[in-house]
Amino acid sequence: MSPPDREDTLLRFLMPKEAKFYDFFEQDVANLVTAAKELMDFFEDYNDVETKVLRFIELEHEGDAITHQIIGQLHRTFVTPLDREDIALLANSLDDFMDCIEGAARTAVLYRIAQPTARARELAAIIVHVTSELNKAIPRLRHRNQFKQIIEHCVEVNRLENEADNIHHAALAELFDNETDITGIIKWREIYELLESAVDRGEDIANILEGIVIKHA
């Protein structure tokens, strides 16, 4: 017969470590909220940008570290509170969102953009709203009786993504109408695409959350 302490150890290993996964996801989305707010400030107060972009690199590294912790915890946990594939998808999508935010700021500095456009600021503001909705939704994963509210936040993210699409299209139209320098067109088109892609990644996260709610309804 196995000693009691070994049985207890095995039981703890088999039990789902719910708090760990939820803690990591909440840390990750909070990091995204910080990055989104700093991106909006980056485009609103476009000064000392070389120093500011270092902060985005720091936040991106912090997000990477959380992603590694989630995946590591996934490998160590026998029974998970959510489907393993959903945990991995959510972790990777949060990471992709951060990559787009960091990429937009870094590209603006790399391309030596003189001043941001009004459309860039509009897209940055939508990114802030998307992260705010996700920051409200993800903590509700801990509570099955709050799954209905998750759907409400996801619907709002979908609406924001549609709004971002319209702004992105308008931005490109204005770019080709008003910009005479082909280099400037190429630079801004890439920045706009990164900003719009960030919103798309937010919608990906919302879709994953909706899928989780449907599975556990």
pLDDT at residue number 79: 84
Instruction: Provide the residue range defining the domain that includes 54.
Output: 18-216
Residues 211, 196: Cα–Cα separation, whole Å: 23
Q: Where are the alpha helices (DSSP H) in 77-181?
A: 84-110, 118-137, 147-178
**By C-alpha distance, which of 122, 140, 159 is closest to 43?**
122
- Residue 13 within any structural domain of the chain: no
- Residue 1 within any structural domain of the chain: no
- Residue 175 within any structural domain of the chain: yes
Higher-pLDDT residue of 6, 55 = 55
- Residue 2 within any structural domain of the chain: no
Domain count, the chain: 1
pLDDT digits (tens, 9 = 90+) for 161-198: 999 999 999 999 998 888 778 888 999 999 999 999 99
State what percent of residues in the chain have pLDDT above 90: 79
Helix (H) / strand (E) containing 184 = helix 182-216
- Residue 8 within any structural domain of the chain: no
pLDDT digits (tens, 9 = 90+) for 52-89: 999 999 999 999 999 999 999 999 888 888 999 999 99
**By C-alpha distance, which of 165, 151, 156, 60 is closest to 104?**
60
195: domain CATH number? 1.20.58.220
pLDDT at residue number 6: 55
Residues 189, 115: Cα–Cα separation, whole Å: 15
- pLDDT level of residue 11 (50, 70, 90 thresholds): very low
- Residue 3 within any structural domain of the chain: no
- Residue 150 within any structural domain of the chain: yes
- The whole-model pTM stands at 0.90
Residues 6, 177: Cα–Cα separation, whole Å: 72
Residues 34, 151: Cα–Cα separation, whole Å: 23
- Residue 74 within any structural domain of the chain: yes
26 by Cβ neighbours in 10 Å (0-12 / 13-18 / 19+) ranks as: middle
- pLDDT level of residue 18 (50, 70, 90 thresholds): low
